[in-house]
Amino acid sequence: MQTEPLGLHHVFERAEAVFADREVTGREPGGVRGLDYAELFAGARGLAEDLEGLGLRPGDRVATYAWNTLDHMRAYIAIPGAGMVMHTVNIRLGADEVAYTLAHAGDRAVLVDGALWESWSAVDLPDTVEHVLVMGEAPDLPAVQGGAAVHRLETRPVPERRGWWRPRDENEAVGICYTSGTTGRPKAVVYSHRSVYLHALTLCGTDAFAIGHHDVVLPVVPMFHANAWNLPYAGLVAGAGLAFPGRHLDPLGLTGFIRDSRATFAAGVPTVWAAVVRALHEGRAPGDALATMDRIVIGGSSAPESLLDALTGLGIRPVHAWGMTECSPVGLVASEPCTPDGAVRSAARRTQGRPLPGLAVRSSAEGREAARDGAAVGELEISGPFVVDHYHAPEKDDSASFTASPDGRRWLRTGDMVTVDARGYVTLVDRAKDMVKSGGEWISSVDLENRLAAHPRVNETAVIAVPDEVWGERPVAVLSSTDGEPLDPDELRSFLGAQIPRWQLPDRFVVVDEVPKTGVGKFDKKRMRAEYGHGR
Amino acid sequence: MQTEPLGLHHVFERAEAVFADREVTGREPGGVRGLDYAELFAGARGLAEDLEGLGLRPGDRVATYAWNTLDHMRAYIAIPGAGMVMHTVNIRLGADEVAYTLAHAGDRAVLVDGALWESWSAVDLPDTVEHVLVMGEAPDLPAVQGGAAVHRLETRPVPERRGWWRPRDENEAVGICYTSGTTGRPKAVVYSHRSVYLHALTLCGTDAFAIGHHDVVLPVVPMFHANAWNLPYAGLVAGAGLAFPGRHLDPLGLTGFIRDSRATFAAGVPTVWAAVVRALHEGRAPGDALATMDRIVIGGSSAPESLLDALTGLGIRPVHAWGMTECSPVGLVASEPCTPDGAVRSAARRTQGRPLPGLAVRSSAEGREAARDGAAVGELEISGPFVVDHYHAPEKDDSASFTASPDGRRWLRTGDMVTVDARGYVTLVDRAKDMVKSGGEWISSVDLENRLAAHPRVNETAVIAVPDEVWGERPVAVLSSTDGEPLDPDELRSFLGAQIPRWQLPDRFVVVDEVPKTGVGKFDKKRMRAEYGHGR
């Protein structure tokens, strides 16, 4: 058999040869703009030539700092298409952390979204950066930023097709993402042509995301976070329509763009969809806004049952998924088991899911694999061709993040405490560091959060462990209400008390305007522990 | 990223870990038998141990000679699962050709379907074969066949899981298939762990065969021909139900088993489906026999429009596909383009399709790529990670079968004359050697066949080129009628004459009881040219 390297060159060339008239939509400052694959790729080719014109060469690292835009998508093609390595900088990081990742990656150039110029200009650029290229509308720009020349980029279509960069070795680096570490510096995960190709192809599978040519894929999850779950490349493999919402991720902006782009498939974190559902229920968004939507993938953190039910009620199939930057990023998808038992099917949909083709999972407790009985709790470990092998140039020894099997397989330790059942469904019990150990017994903060989320007046909730002299640790719930009015702790206590043992009830219910979140929209438990973890 | 080898070990281990309770059905002499993946794999593990007990080792070649049965499926797992190389012998080959392929592959053992003992026992075994293992019910067996010991195999379940053979190099051989060459000896195509994995994963894609966990996959295409289009392994990737019809491929046997197995997905050559449709229309098969069927893949040769329409009329989505043993074997699938124009969608469904992810195609005429305009005719060339790189130990130099690009890509010359359009749809004009060159102009035998197939009384038809002193070559049609009654050549001539120019009309219409076919069910044009190609 041919040993043709797996890689994005193939995805790009096939997309141009086969899907030239498929549509791509973007919400831009002037309104919604549409173009086809032929125009998208022509623009990407112009961008690739612009980068080469600045002296950038294959292997050079080129960063992006942008919302989900057509310009960003062009960069997703142009950078790897020119053989360079794309570093998608998380715009939610602080300026010093951005500078750290730019220096760590050794970026020679950065493509900056003009709409983000203000936060970008606060970054103290490391010496590696020679060029800053500003995309889209932007304010007056300086000629230089630190030691880098600042250029204004225009879209310059080059319609004549020629081959995209074909890696000699499919394990060649194609992208870098940094994990949003809750402790220490962000860690670098380097994707290869092979891993991106395999992951994108796998996402198109029927029981994965089933992305097809007739879909219109709308990544709500940011392109600066784990490459928007690899949806841009999976979309190109399928020849799907693509829709880029820009910065308009509020419920009204999003529902309006879903209607304009006729999106059939979207993916994002639970909080985004909870807000959309609320806006629909309250009549703030038009009732038919999601009429074209077929399925919505929810991941990034565990989705409350109530959200899954609400989407189902809207005629949308919710797909629960689990991933992390280290897994390219999607690892588990909660597709339904083939059984006539509706309760079993429904329960399976609410788990984190089972491993995608290519991946193996196990749960480890005290150095052994825990039973696959849906009850034994262990740390989730994962292995496969699109799982990280090692962090790139880690700040400190990363060997504790991996274990090895005698057969040579390498396993990533995910830090998630889970059960695994006989059908391979993984259920998240907690992040290892978020488990509450009270009087020697574990309390799952995820379980408490899911139960509280089902309360009609609870908007968002996070449960944290706080030190306790008697019990070691005790749970505390931080909550916001749907209507901004106060919540009654006694009422919440009796709501929960009807469902779980008394000793598992949170000691306190802290009601806040908004539950604190990290740069990528996850609950910031570190900050909450610091803020609400002491005294009463 | 991890460099975990792609391979069947992974498919098997995941299938056991995740899909243990999924069902597998087989039609056996005693009736329809059902078991689950756990039992299937336990039996395969027993078979693997039996092979090892006979002294067989990783890298050894082990052949199969069997119908589509549960036993054959066990062998599909046990042989590669023990690190051996599976050679699926085409039972339609003559005894001397079987002996040739056994010797060429260097098979040390052969698993023989007891139901095929009679034809098998006529094979003069080469010295390489040490063991003949007979599966299923069989007549009295001799102790030896040639120099080989004959064993009767019992299914021996070994339920305790242990890892399957994990290739150190994913390019390691996993299977051998021989092409049914119309000239010269069959040629050997060696599949690798990597190619089989990639092809099976790709078939599960939404716009490929969309095989999922909830499907029941029924391979009508034989497991001794291009590994049943790789459906057994694609089914295991998806965790689909599997259904094995045994030898009962007549319309009544097949429709009965489709009903028993509740198959949702089947694949086979056009002649099989034409016979099934006829049996339904004539009331010989029960009207609801295909009620569970969702889609049927038709390939192996070009399907007439009338067949695609008949399946659509039954509520089944016909999927037209193109492949060859050299492409693992599926290369093109005629999924619909995303356009509101119904005529364009419908026309696309009737083409051979467009390249699967991973593959590139082009049509070459006189050393250059022909225009992608849907009109220019050239020879189809195909390239990608599950396309053959070279034939294994070819009888004669095989370099004429391949061309190379300056970028290092290798292209297989398929021998099919095609057009390619702007959306990448490939339309078969003819096999290069089946084109009729009349007075310097090409006549497409496929086009004539398709038009004749639309005649209500024509059952099967093949058009061949016969030598002609005046024109060089002229077309001759060989036909059978649906009702066994004679067809009127004049009536056929005026039927065609209303559609095409006079000079393209066949010179003769030879009406036969059955149009001659090769071992794999394709029209045997070589034989027809010998039989009907001379004089009037």
CB contact under 8 A, B17 and A410: no
Q: Would you give the distance in Å from CA B471 to the centre of its chain? A: 36
The three-state secondary structure class of B294 is: coil
pTM of the model: 0.89
Q: What is the mean pLDDT of residues A345-363?
A: 95
Contact A93, A186 (CB under 8 A): yes
Active site residue A518: no
Q: Are residues B155 and B59 in the same domain?
A: yes
pLDDT of residue A483: 87
Q: Which amino acid is at A346?
A: S
**Chain B residue nearest residue A8, CA to CA:** B358
**A335 contacts in B (CB within 8 Å)?**
213
pLDDT of residue B436: 85
The shortest CB-CB distance from A194 to any of B1, B205, B339 is to: B1
Q: Report yes or no on B220 lying in a domain.
A: no
Q: Report yes or no on A1 lying in a domain.
A: no
Among A312-316, A456-460, A461-465, B446-450, the least confident range: B446-450
Kindly name the residue from A369, A396, A437, A491 that is annotated as catalytic. Answer: A437
CA distance to partner chain B, nearest, from residue A42 (Å): 16
pLDDT of residue B535: 57
| CATH number for B47 | 3.40.50.12780
**B37 contacts in A (CB within 8 Å)?**
none
**B292 contacts in A (CB within 8 Å)?**
none
pLDDT digits (tens, 9 = 90+) for B326-357: 999 999 999 999 999 999 999 999 899 999 99
Q: Report yes or no on B91 lying in a domain.
A: yes
Those of residues 374-433 in A touching chain B at CB distance below 8 A are 383-389, 407-410, 422-424
Q: Are residues A190 and A226 in the same domain?
A: yes
d(CA B97, CA B86): 18
Of B464, B435, B448, B449, the residue nearest B527 (C-alpha):
B464
What is the total count of domains within chain B?
Answer: 3
Query: Of the residues B431, B448, B475, which one is the last residue of a structural domain?
Result: B431
Confidence of residue B173 (pLDDT cuts 50, 70, 90): very high
Taking 70 as the threshold, does the pLDDT of residue A520 lie above it? no
Q: Report yes or no on B215 lying in a domain.
A: no
Confidence of residue A182 (pLDDT cuts 50, 70, 90): low
Q: What is the mean pLDDT of residues B295-321?
A: 90
**B210 contacts in A (CB within 8 Å)?**
206, 210
**Chain B residue nearest residue A240, CA to CA:** B338
For B468-507, letters b (16+ CB in 10 Å) and e give eeebebbbbbbbbbbeeeebeeeebeebbeeeeeeebbbe
pLDDT of residue B183: 56
**A410 contacts in B (CB within 8 Å)?**
2, 4
Q: Are residues B410 and B439 in the same domain?
A: no
Kindly name the residue from B137, B339, B369, B437 that is annotated as catalytic. Answer: B437
CB contact under 8 A, B192 and A1: yes
DSSP string, B59-96: T-EEEEE--B-HHHHHHHHHHHHTT-EEEE--TTS-HH
Distances (CA, A) of B111 to A203, B97, B141, B154, B515: 37, 17, 14, 12, 32
Q: What is the mean pLDDT of residues B192-196?
A: 98
Of A485, A495, A489, the residue nearest A453 (C-alpha):
A495
pLDDT digits (tens, 9 = 90+) for A197-216: 999 999 999 999 999 999 99
User: What is the percent of chain B where pLDDT is above 90?
Assistant: 73
pLDDT of residue B7: 97
Q: How many CB pairs under 8 A join A and B?
A: 184
Active site residue B437: yes
- Where helices occur in B337-464 by DSSP H, the ranges are 342-349, 445-453
Contact B419, B375 (CB under 8 A): yes
Confidence of residue B526 (pLDDT cuts 50, 70, 90): confident
Whether the CB of A317 is below 8 Å from some CB of chain B: the reply is no
Active site residue A118: no
Q: Are residues B13 and B129 in the same domain?
A: yes
pLDDT of residue B182: 52
pLDDT digits (tens, 9 = 90+) for B454-468: 898 999 899 998 988
Query: Of the residues A222, A247, A272, which one is the last residue of a structural domain?
Result: A247
CB contact under 8 A, B338 and A423: no
Of B398, B428, B411, B470, the residue nearest B181 (C-alpha):
B398
Query: How buried is A104 (Cβ within 10 angstroms: 0-12 exposed, 13-18 middle, 19+ buried)?
Result: buried
d(CA B508, CA B490): 10
Q: Are residues B456 and B406 in the same domain?
A: no
**B199 contacts in A (CB within 8 Å)?**
none
The three-state secondary structure class of A254 is: helix
Contact B125, B142 (CB under 8 A): no
Taking 80 as the threshold, does the pLDDT of residue B440 lie above it? no
Q: Are residues B511 and B456 in the same domain?
A: yes
Whether the CB of B6 is below 8 Å from some CB of chain A: the reply is yes
Q: What is the mean pLDDT of residues B52-58?
A: 98
pLDDT of residue B195: 98
Q: What 8-state DSSP symbol labels residue A115?
A: G
Q: Are residues B444 and B426 in the same domain?
A: no
Q: Which amino acid is at B163?
A: G
pLDDT digits (tens, 9 = 90+) for A44-86: 999 999 999 999 999 999 999 999 999 999 999 999 999 999 9
Q: Report yes or no on A38 lying in a domain.
A: yes
End-to-end CA distance of chain B: 68
Q: Which amino acid is at A146?
A: G
Confidence of residue A421 (pLDDT cuts 50, 70, 90): very high
Among A348-357, A455-464, B516-525, the least confident range: B516-525
Q: Which amino acid is at B134?
A: V
Kindly name the residue from B179, B351, B419, B427 that is annotated as catalytic. Answer: B179
pLDDT of residue B520: 64
Secondary structure, 3-state, A324-384: CHHHCCEEEECCCCCCCCHHHHHHHHCCCEEECCCCEEEEEECCEECCCCCCCCEEEEEEC
Taking 90 as the threshold, does the pLDDT of residue B171 lie above it? yes
Query: Of the residues B431, B454, B477, which one is the last residue of a structural domain?
Result: B431
* Mean pLDDT, chain B, integer: 92
Q: Report yes or no on A286 lying in a domain.
A: no
Q: Are residues A440 and A427 in the same domain?
A: no
pLDDT of residue B303: 80
Q: Are residues A175 and A49 in the same domain?
A: yes
Active site residue A437: yes
Confidence of residue A297 (pLDDT cuts 50, 70, 90): very high
Q: Report yes or no on B284 lying in a domain.
A: no
State the pairing for strand pair A360-365/A354-355. unpaired
The shortest CB-CB distance from A385 to any of B4, B166, B202 is to: B4
pLDDT digits (tens, 9 = 90+) for B115-163: 999 999 999 999 999 999 999 999 899 999 999 999 999 999 998 888 8
**A11 contacts in B (CB within 8 Å)?**
357
Confidence of residue B181 (pLDDT cuts 50, 70, 90): low
**Residues 6+ away with beta carbon under 8 Å from B501:** none
CB contact under 8 A, B407 and A207: no
**Chain A residue nearest residue B23, CA to CA:** A338
* Structure tokens, A518: 């990290």
Taking 70 as the threshold, does the pLDDT of residue B439 lie above it? yes
pLDDT of residue A264: 98
CB contact under 8 A, B338 and A213: yes
d(CA B10, CA B165): 9
Helices (H) and strands (E) in chain B, counts: 15, 28
pLDDT of residue B381: 97
**A387 contacts in B (CB within 8 Å)?**
1-2, 4
Q: Are residues B383 and B492 in the same domain?
A: no
User: What is the percent of chain A where pLDDT is above 90?
Assistant: 73
Those of residues 9-48 in B touching chain A at CB distance below 8 A are 10-11, 13-14, 17-22
Taking 70 as the threshold, does the pLDDT of residue B533 lie above it? yes
d(CA A15, CA A449): 43
CB contact under 8 A, B384 and A4: yes
Q: What 8-state DSSP symbol labels residue A523?
A: B
pLDDT of residue A266: 97
pLDDT of residue B522: 75
The shortest CB-CB distance from A201 to any of B171, B338, B357 is to: B357
pLDDT digits (tens, 9 = 90+) for A433-450: 777 888 777 788 888 988
Q: Report yes or no on A312 lying in a domain.
A: no
Whether the CB of A356 is below 8 Å from some CB of chain B: the reply is no
Cα three-residue angle A500-A504-A506, rounded to 5 degrees: 110
Whether the CB of A500 is below 8 Å from some CB of chain B: the reply is no
CB contact under 8 A, A214 and B166: no
Taking 90 as the threshold, does the pLDDT of residue B37 lie above it? yes
| CATH number for A499 | 3.30.300.30
Taking 80 as the threshold, does the pLDDT of residue B302 lie above it? no
Q: What is the mean pLDDT of residues B63-78?
A: 98
Taking 70 as the threshold, does the pLDDT of residue A183 lie above it? no
Q: Are residues A174 and A43 in the same domain?
A: yes
Of B400, B423, B402, the residue nearest B352 (C-alpha):
B423
Confidence of residue A181 (pLDDT cuts 50, 70, 90): low
Kindly name the residue from A442, A517, A518, A526 that is annotated as catalytic. Answer: A442
User: What is the percent of chain B where pLDDT is above 70?
Assistant: 98
pLDDT of residue B10: 96
pLDDT digits (tens, 9 = 90+) for B219-277: 999 999 999 999 999 999 999 999 999 998 889 999 999 999 999 999 998 888 988 99
Instruction: List the domain range (segments joined by +) for residue A184.
Output: 8-247
How many residues are listed for chain A in this entry? 536
Of A71, A327, A435, A32, the residue nearest A223 (C-alpha):
A71
Report the run of H or E that residue A152 belongs to, with start and end: strand A148-152
Q: Are residues A200 and A328 in the same domain?
A: no
**A19 contacts in B (CB within 8 Å)?**
423-424
A295-298 sheet: strands from edge to edge: A31-36, A23-28, A241-244, A216-219, A265-268, A295-298, A317-323, A330-333, A354-355
Secondary structure, 3-state, B132-143: EEEECCCCCCCC
Query: How buried is B363 (Cβ within 10 angstroms: 0-12 exposed, 13-18 middle, 19+ buried)?
Result: buried
Contact B240, B211 (CB under 8 A): yes
State the pairing for strand pair B31-36/B23-28. antiparallel
Confidence of residue A223 (pLDDT cuts 50, 70, 90): very high
| CATH number for B374 | 2.30.38.10
